[in-house]
Amino acid sequence: MKRILVAYDGGEPARRALDIAIDLAKGFDALVTVVSVVPVHPGRSPVDPWDDRTVHAHELQEAKQILTEHGITAEFLEPAGDPAATIERIAEEGGYDTVVVGSRGLGAVSRFLQGSVSEHVATHVDATVVIAR
């Protein structure tokens, strides 16, 4: 375990994912990258005003502060796109061997309508995937 990608959106599941990434980074002396994907929705208003770049920049600043408190220096990414596919692409292109994501605990109907980022990442990324619950 040398390169850890952690998805962070400021929610409680993402905070648990960040905590796990901190433990793994310390235990394995691994590099950490934090990604907060600005969701883009095709076919309607592309970016939700309550979930835009400003919101994600704040989330990344929060993650940076938490990591700094734990003595971890990280890289931070703020791409736009479909969150699940973007995390998958970054994990593969960046050669990450571990990806940590939070699970929002969506029910079957919500997963069908919205899709589950953690489920997509777990089934599509060619790396160890840790899902924080």
Kindly report, residue by residue over 61-88, the tens digit of the pLDDT. Answer: 999 999 999 999 999 999 999 999 999 9
The mean pLDDT of the chain is: 87
The answer to whether residue 51 scores a pLDDT higher than 80 is no
d(CA 78, CA 115): 21
Which CATH number applies to 3-132? 3.40.50.620
d(CA 41, CA 46): 5
Q: Which two tokens stand for residue 100?
A: 């940590």
In the prediction, which pLDDT does 111 show? 36
Query: What is the amino acid identity at position 14?
Result: A
d(CA 26, CA 33): 14
114, 106 Cβ separation under 8 angstroms:
yes
- Where exactly are the structural domains of the chain? 3-132
